A and B are shown apart, each in its own frame.
Chain A
Amino acid sequence: MVNITIDNRNISVPEGTTIMEAAASAGIPVPKLCYLKGINEIAACRVCVVELEGMDKLVTSCNNVAKEGMVVYTNSPKVRAARKRNVQLLLSQHDCKCATCVRSGNCSLQKVANDFNNIDLPFKERFEDTPWDKTFPLIRDSRKCIKCMRCIQICDKVQDLHIWDVTGTGSRTTVNVAGNKKISDVSCSLCGQCITHCPVGALRERDDTDEVWDAIADKKKIVVAQVAPAVRAAWGEALGIPLEEATIGKIMDSLKRLGIDYVFDTTFSADLTIMEEGNEFLERFTKGELRLRPMFTSCCPGWIRFIKSQYPHLVPQLSTAKSPQQMFGAVMKTYFAQSIGARPEDIFTVSVMPCVAKKGERNMELFYGEYAGHDIDAVLTTRELTRMIRSAHIDPTTLKDRECDPLMREGSGAGVIFGATGGVMEAALRTAHYLVTGKNADPDAFKAVRSPAFGTGVIEAEVQIGDATIRAAVVSGLGNTRKLIESIEHGEVHYDFVEVMACPGGCVGGGGQPIHDGQELAHERGKNLYFLDSNAKLRFSHDNPDIQKLYNDFMEKPLSHKAHMLLHTDHNAWEMPAGKTTE
C-alpha cells in the first residue's frame, strides 16, 4: 500500500493506483475529458491535472501513479487556472451550438465547461470544416471534435479495425479516416463504438427520425414497427425511467402514441431466426460441413461487414439466415400485409435497434412477387427513439404497458436474450436440443455460454445434444473476434458453431444505445434480459405459438422454399469496400 495526501486528506491505496483513482477512492472525482480507463490514458486534454507538493509543473492524474509520501492538490489555484484555461482552449475549437447537438445534456465537455463556470471566452474561435458524406450511417462533425483520440483507440484496441487515425501535423493535427480515405471507402463495421465512446457530439448516427415522421404523416402508408430485445434494457436510461419501470410494453405504448400503426417486438423474429438458423445448423452439422470450420451466426450486421472485409473467404461459413430485423421486415411485408389486406408497398417498416450497423443492413433488398424494395424502410437507434419520444413531448410517467399487435405478438425468453452476448447461441441450443431429441431440455441447461462479466473474450462450451457433442464458442467485440478467427484459421481451436457480436457484451452494449461517458453498461443491461428470460412464460423459440402459426399458415416449414426466398440471404449480393484498413 502507498500512503499519500490528497487535498489534505491522508489516504492509503494499493501500489500502482493512479492519482485519479486514488482521489476517486477518497470521494474526490478529478475532472477529466479524454481519459477512458484502459483504452485512452494519454493525458491529452490536460483537464485532470493536479499539483504535487515540491513540483512546479502540474501533472496529469489519469496516467501517473501515486507514490509514497506524495502530497497532491486537486483544486489549488494553479490547478484551477490551468484546468479552466485548457477547457477554454478546447471550447475555442469546438462548435458550441449545443442547442442543435444530439449530445446536449450528455456532453462531457459541456459539463466540464459549465462546472468550471466558463462564462466569457477570451479566445477567438476557429472550427475545422472537413467534408463528410451525410448519407453514411456514421456521421463525423469535425467542428465538434476535441481530438481526445478515443475513437482511434476504441477502433484500434477494442475493435481492431483501425478506421480512425490522427491526420495532419502541427496545429492542423486532427482525427479522420485512416490513410486519407473516405469513410465509405474503408472497412468500417458500423459498430458505432466510436460514437458511444465520444465525449462530445463529434460522432453520431445518421438521424433518420424525419423519415419516420414523414411516413407517419403519410396517410397512404401503414407504418409497422419492431423493437429489438436490447432496446428494452437501455431506453429508460435516456428518459429517466427506472429500470424496473422501463418495460417493453411502454415502448409499444410510446410508438403507438407517436402514431405508428402496428407495433411488434423483434423477439418474435428472433424466435423465427432460431427456427431457421437452428435447423440450418443441424443440417450443416449432420452433413459434416462444419468439420473444418464452424458455422457462424449472421444476426449482427457489424460482424457481417467485418467478416466480408477482413476474412472474405469465410463468408460461406456464415448462416444464410437473415437477421431478426430483416426477417421481421420480410414477414411484415408479406404474411402480415396479407393478413390486413395490404400490399407490400403500402407498408413502411421501421425498426428500433441498439445498433448503427442496422442502418447499413437495411439496404438489403426484398423481392416478393411484384414487389421489389427493402425488408426495412427505416432504422432508428435507441437514442433516436428516445429523441422522438421527447420531441413528441410524451411524458414518460404517463406511458402504460401495451401489448404488441396480434398475429406476431408472442416472443419467447430465448428471443429476448438475443440482445446479450451468448443469447443467440443459448436460444439456438435450446431449440436444437428439441429438434434432435424431441424433448425440451431444462431452459437453463446451456447457460455455460453466458458471459460472466464485461470484457470476457471468448466463451467456449461443449454441449451434448442427443448423441452429438457440439463445440460452441461465443465472442463479442471485433478485436476478440479477430483473435478467435486467427486461432481457428491456425488450427489451434475447432468449433462447430460460433456466435459473434461486433459490440463488446452484445447488442446491449450496441453503438446505438444511450451513452454514459466512462461507463460500460452492457453486462448490467444483459442481466436484465436474462432476468426477463427467466420470468418469461415461453422459454423456447419453437414453443412460440405465433411462430408455429406462421409456419402452418405461410412459411410451411423451416428452410422451406418460401423461407429461403424470404428469410435467407446471399451474403455475396453486396460488396464491402475492398481491402483491409490495417494494411
Chain B
Amino acid sequence: MSRLEILAPNKAQVVVEGLYRDLERRIESSPPGLCPVDMTRAFLEMCHAQTCGKCVPCRIGLWQLKKLLTDVLDGKATMGTLDLMESLATAIMDSADCAIGYEAAHMVYKSLIGCREDYEEHIRQGRCTCQYSQPVPCVSLCPAHVDIPGYIALVGEGRYADAIRLIRKDNPFPTTCGFICEHPCEARCRRNMVDDAINIRGLKRMAADYAGKVPPPACAPATGKKIAVVGGGPGGLSAAYYLQLMGHEVTVFEMLPKLGGMLRYGIPNYRLPKDRLDDDINAILETGVKVEFGKRIGQDMTIQSLREEYDAVLITIGASTDKKLGIDGEQAEGVLSAVKFLRDVGKGENPDLAGQEVAVIGGGNVSMDAVRTAKRLGAKKVSIVYRRRVADMTALPAEIEGAIAEGIEVQTLMAPSRIVTDDSGHVSGIYVTPQMISKIKDGRASVRPTGEEDVLIPCRTLIVAIGQDIEYQHFEEAGVPVERGKILTQKYGGFDNIPGVFAGGDCASGPASVIKAIAAAKVVAANIDEYLGFHHEISCDVEIPEARLADRLPCGRVNMTEREACERVCDFNGVENCMTEAEAKQEASRCLRCDHFGYGIFKGGREKLW
C-alpha cells in the first residue's frame, strides 16, 4: 500500500481550467452598454457556483441575493427589495468566512451602490436604460471611430491605398497611427473570444507601408470662410484637413520650425521615423492648408486679433510645458524636462551624453522615450526611477519591454527626494526614498516609505518625465476658461461666451494620445462647420469587401517583430518591422467582421459619413 500518491488532474478539471481561460478572454471582450443588473446577476451566479458550501452566508446568502436580483430584472421587485439586497450583501460581507463569499457580496454591493439608477429604473419602469448602441467593439473603442473592419478587409485583399483612403475619412494620420497608436481598439476585440485580439495597429502599419503615395480627396467648393488653427500638432492638422476638405480656407500657426507637434518633437524617430510622419503631413498640406511658421500665440498674435481676421479660431496648442518635481536642486544644471530633451533631439540639437550616467524620473510613455533616446545618444548607463512597480507604470508594456531589452536599468519603488550637485552647481545625482507597495486606493496601488535610508543614484543628466501642462496664461487673459491646467471647453469643443473660438486635443483634454487628439479634431471640425452655417459631410466612396464566409478556426495573432536590441540602440532608425504580406493576409482573415456578423448588421455597424 502506498502512503502518498501523485495527483494527476482529472479530465473534467482540465476542461474546466480551459473554460476559465475562455471566460477570462470573453470578459475581456465584453461589449459596452450591457445592463449592469443583468451582468451582476450573471457574475453572482458564477460566484455562487464557486462556493464550497460550508458557510451559511455564502451558500444560502448568495442564492437569495441572486433571487432578489432576478426579481429586479423581472419587474417583480419594489424599492424595499433594494434595501433588503443592500442589507443582505452587507451581512454576507461582514460574516462570510472566506473571500469566495465576502468578495462575491462585495461585487453585488458595489453594483448596487454604483448603478443604483439602473436598479431603480428596472423597478419603476420594468425596463432597462442600457442599450447596445456600439456593436463593433474596435470601432466604438477607437476615439476617432475609424472603420476598422473595413480597412482590415481591404488590407486582406491587398487594397492598401483604399485602406488608407478609408482610414483618412476619420483619421488623417494613418501612417503615424500605424506606428505609434495606443490601439484602444484592440482592447475588446471580439476575436479574443476565439483566441486573441486582432493586431489592428499592425495591419494599419501594413497599409501605410504598402500603399505608396495616396492623394487626399478633393475639397468641397470653396465657402470663402477663413479659419485659424493655432498649433500644428496632430489635433490642429487633423482639424485643418477636414475643414479644408469642407471647402474652408485654413491657416495653421505653428511656433516651431516644422509641423507635427509632439509627433515630431516628442516622439523619437526610432518609434516614428520623421520621413514617415511627413507622409501624413504632406497629404494634409496637399488639400491646400496654409501654414505660418514661427508664430506663437500671445506673442505674435492674440486670440482677439485672430478672431478679427478669421471666421473661426481653433486652439490646438497641445500640452508642451513640463510638470516640476518640486524638490530641492531642481534648478541645477543638467536637470531638464523630458519635453525639452525630446524637443531638442527632434530639432536635431542632440545633447552629448556620451559616457554619462542618466536618470529619468517617471513611468509613462514619455519616460520610455527619454531613456531610449538617452541610450542612443551614447549614455553609459540609463536608469528609470519610478516610485511604484513596473506593473503600475502607465507606459505601454511593449515600450517597457523595449527599453529593458536595450539595457535600460529600472529602479522601482524609489521616490525622488532631493537632487545633489557638484561644486560647479551641476547635477551629480539624486537621492531617492525607498518605498514599499501598499494599499490599493481608487484601483491603484499606493506606496509608502519603507523607513530605510535614502539612496543616492548618481547621474550627470536628470530628465523629469512626470507629466505635461499647457501654457495657458494668454488664454486666461483672453477670457478663455482655464481650469487645472486645461482649457475648459463645452462638449462641442467651443465656449458659450466666446462664439467662433474652439479648442481641442491635449490642451483641452490634458495630455492624452494622438488618436484622442484626432477624435477631438473631428468634433471641432464638424462643429466649426456648423457654426459657420454649413453641414458638410465627410465620407469615403471606397467599397468595402463582403465579409468572407469561412470558419473562424483558432489561429495565433501575428505580432510585430523588432530589430535586434544591440543593433537598434546604435541609431535612431525605426525599431519595429512591418509584417509580411502573407502575415497581413492571415491576420486580416482573423477579423470576425463584427460589422457584418452580429448586431453590427442591424444597428451601428458602419457610419459611412460624419
Nearest CB in chain A: distance from B194 CB, A: 12
By a CB distance below 8 angstroms, the chain A residues around B551 are: 55-57
- Contact between B35 and A172 (Cβ–Cβ < 8 Å)? yes
In whole angstroms, how far apart are the Cα atoms of A52 and B34 in the complex? 34
- Contact between B601 and A63 (Cβ–Cβ < 8 Å)? yes
By a CB distance below 8 angstroms, the chain A residues around B126 are: 130-131
- Contact between A43 and B601 (Cβ–Cβ < 8 Å)? yes
Which one of A163-171, A244-252, A323-331, A515-523 contacts B?
A: A163-171
Q: Mark A418-431, 1 if CB is under 8 A from B, else 0.
A: 00000000000000
Q: Which residues of A from 409 to 444 have beta carbons under 8 Å from B?
A: none
Task: Determine if B317 is an interface residue (Cβ-Cβ < 8 Å).
Answer: no
Task: Determine if A365 is an interface residue (Cβ-Cβ < 8 Å).
Answer: no
**Contacts A168-B35, A169-B35; is A44 near B602 (CB within 8 Å)?**
yes
- Contact between B129 and A180 (Cβ–Cβ < 8 Å)? yes
By a CB distance below 8 angstroms, the chain B residues around A203 are: none
**Contacts A57-B551, A59-B549, A130-B126; is A169 near B601 (CB within 8 Å)?**
no
In whole angstroms, how far apart are the Cα atoms of A477 and B231 in the complex? 49
- Contact between A42 and B601 (Cβ–Cβ < 8 Å)? yes
Q: Which of A55, A63, A64, A172 contacts B128 (CB 8 A)?
A: A172
In whole angstroms, how far apart are the Cα atoms of A57 and B127 in the complex? 35
- Contact between A169 and B38 (Cβ–Cβ < 8 Å)? yes
In whole angstroms, how far apart are the Cα atoms of A372 and B132 in the complex? 50
B127 nearest in chain A by CB position: A180
Task: Determine if A293 is an interface residue (Cβ-Cβ < 8 Å).
Answer: no
By a CB distance below 8 angstroms, the chain A residues around B38 are: 169-172
A44 nearest in chain B by CB position: B602
A177 nearest in chain B by CB position: B127
**Contacts A42-B601, A59-B549; is A169 near B130 (CB within 8 Å)?**
yes
B535 nearest in chain A by CB position: A490
Q: Which residues of A from 182 to 214 have beta carbons under 8 Å from B?
A: none
In whole angstroms, how far apart are the Cα atoms of A92 and B550 in the complex? 31
Q: Which residues of B from 109 to 130 have beta carbons under 8 Å from A?
A: 121, 125-130
Task: Determine if B380 is an interface residue (Cβ-Cβ < 8 Å).
Answer: no
By a CB distance below 8 angstroms, the chain B residues around A65 are: 546
Among B551, B552, B602: residue with most chain A CB under 10 A: B602
- Contact between A180 and B125 (Cβ–Cβ < 8 Å)? yes
Q: Which residues of A from 267 to 312 have beta carbons under 8 Å from B?
A: none
Q: Which of A131, A166, A167, A170 contacts B34 (CB 8 A)?
A: A170
Task: Determine if A7 is an interface residue (Cβ-Cβ < 8 Å).
Answer: no
Task: Determine if B347 is an interface residue (Cβ-Cβ < 8 Å).
Answer: no
- Contact between B601 and A170 (Cβ–Cβ < 8 Å)? no
- Contact between B127 and A168 (Cβ–Cβ < 8 Å)? yes
By a CB distance below 8 angstroms, the chain A residues around B597 are: 43
- Contact between B131 and A149 (Cβ–Cβ < 8 Å)? no
Among A42, A44, A59, A149: residue with most chain B CB under 10 A: A42
- Contact between B35 and A170 (Cβ–Cβ < 8 Å)? yes
Task: Determine if B608 is an interface residue (Cβ-Cβ < 8 Å).
Answer: no
Task: Determine if B474 is an interface residue (Cβ-Cβ < 8 Å).
Answer: no
Task: Determine if A402 is an interface residue (Cβ-Cβ < 8 Å).
Answer: no
- Contact between A176 and B127 (Cβ–Cβ < 8 Å)? yes
A167 nearest in chain B by CB position: B127
Taking residues whose C-beta sits less than 8 angstroms from the other chain, chain B's interface range is 20 to 34
Task: Determine if B212 is an interface residue (Cβ-Cβ < 8 Å).
Answer: no
In whole angstroms, how far apart are the Cα atoms of A149 and B128 in the complex? 18
In whole angstroms, how far apart are the Cα atoms of A67 and B184 in the complex? 34
Nearest CB in chain B: distance from A376 CB, A: 35
**Contacts A41-B601, A130-B126; is A166 near B549 (CB within 8 Å)?**
no
In whole angstroms, how far apart are the Cα atoms of A43 and B599 in the complex? 9
In whole angstroms, how far apart are the Cα atoms of A55 and B546 in the complex? 17
- Contact between A166 and B603 (Cβ–Cβ < 8 Å)? yes
By a CB distance below 8 angstroms, the chain B residues around A42 are: 601-602
Nearest CB in chain A: distance from B554 CB, A: 13
B39 nearest in chain A by CB position: A170
In whole angstroms, how far apart are the Cα atoms of A65 and B545 in the complex? 11
Q: Which of B128, B547, B549, B596 contacts A169 (CB 8 A)?
A: B128
Q: Which residues of B from 570 to 607 have beta carbons under 8 Å from A?
A: 596-597, 601-603
Task: Determine if B33 is an interface residue (Cβ-Cβ < 8 Å).
Answer: yes
Q: Mark A57-69, 1 if CB is under 8 A from B, else 0.
A: 1010001110100
In whole angstroms, how far apart are the Cα atoms of A448 and B200 in the complex? 55
Q: Mark A84-109, 1 if CB is under 8 A from B, else 0.
A: 00000000000000000000000000
Q: Which residues of B from 60 to 78 have beta carbons under 8 Å from A?
A: 73
In whole angstroms, how far apart are the Cα atoms of A290 and B98 in the complex? 80
In whole angstroms, how far apart are the Cα atoms of A55 and B129 in the complex? 39
In whole angstroms, how far apart are the Cα atoms of A167 and B127 in the complex? 7
In whole angstroms, how far apart are the Cα atoms of A275 and B472 in the complex? 71
By a CB distance below 8 angstroms, the chain A residues around B42 are: 170
Nearest CB in chain A: distance from B31 CB, A: 9
Nearest CB in chain A: distance from B591 CB, A: 16
By a CB distance below 8 angstroms, the chain B residues around A52 are: 549
In whole angstroms, how far apart are the Cα atoms of A559 and B552 in the complex? 71
A490 nearest in chain B by CB position: B535
By a CB distance below 8 angstroms, the chain A residues around B125 are: 180
In whole angstroms, how far apart are the Cα atoms of A64 and B550 in the complex? 12
- Contact between A67 and B549 (Cβ–Cβ < 8 Å)? yes
By a CB distance below 8 angstroms, the chain A residues around B547 are: 64
In whole angstroms, how far apart are the Cα atoms of A131 and B125 in the complex? 11
By a CB distance below 8 angstroms, the chain B residues around A169 are: 33-35, 38, 128, 130-132
By a CB distance below 8 angstroms, the chain B residues around A63 are: 596, 601
In whole angstroms, how far apart are the Cα atoms of A403 and B38 in the complex? 63
By a CB distance below 8 angstroms, the chain A residues around B596 are: 63
In whole angstroms, how far apart are the Cα atoms of A176 and B126 in the complex? 12
In whole angstroms, how far apart are the Cα atoms of A16 and B597 in the complex? 18
- Contact between A64 and B127 (Cβ–Cβ < 8 Å)? no
Q: Mark B23-67, 1 if CB is under 8 A from A, else 0.
A: 000000000011100110010000000000000000000000000
In whole angstroms, how far apart are the Cα atoms of A494 and B339 in the complex? 60
In whole angstroms, how far apart are the Cα atoms of A49 and B578 in the complex? 39
- Contact between B34 and A55 (Cβ–Cβ < 8 Å)? no
In whole angstroms, how far apart are the Cα atoms of A149 and B596 in the complex? 16
In whole angstroms, how far apart are the Cα atoms of A42 and B603 in the complex? 9
In whole angstroms, how far apart are the Cα atoms of A173 and B128 in the complex? 9
B603 nearest in chain A by CB position: A166
Nearest CB in chain B: distance from A524 CB, A: 30
| 29 A/B residue pairs, CB under 8 Å, sorted by A | A52-B549, A55-B549, A55-B551, A56-B551, A59-B549, A64-B549, A65-B546, A67-B549, A130-B126, A131-B126, A149-B602, A165-B131, A166-B131, A166-B603, A167-B127, A169-B33, A169-B128, A169-B130, A169-B132, A170-B35, A170-B39, A170-B42, A171-B38, A172-B35, A173-B132, A176-B127, A180-B121, A180-B125, A180-B129
Binding site for A on B (CB under 8 A): 33-35, 38-39, 42, 73, 121, 125-132, 546-547, 549-552, 596-597, 601-603
9 closest Cβ pairs, A-B complex: A42-B602, A169-B35, A168-B128, A170-B38, A169-B34, A56-B551, A180-B127, A42-B601, A59-B549
Apart from the given pairs A44-B602, A167-B128, A170-B38, 18 other A-B contacts in the complex at a CB distance below 8 Å: A41-B601, A63-B596, A64-B546, A64-B547, A131-B126, A165-B131, A168-B128, A168-B130, A169-B34, A169-B128, A169-B130, A169-B131, A170-B39, A170-B42, A172-B35, A172-B38, A172-B128, A176-B127
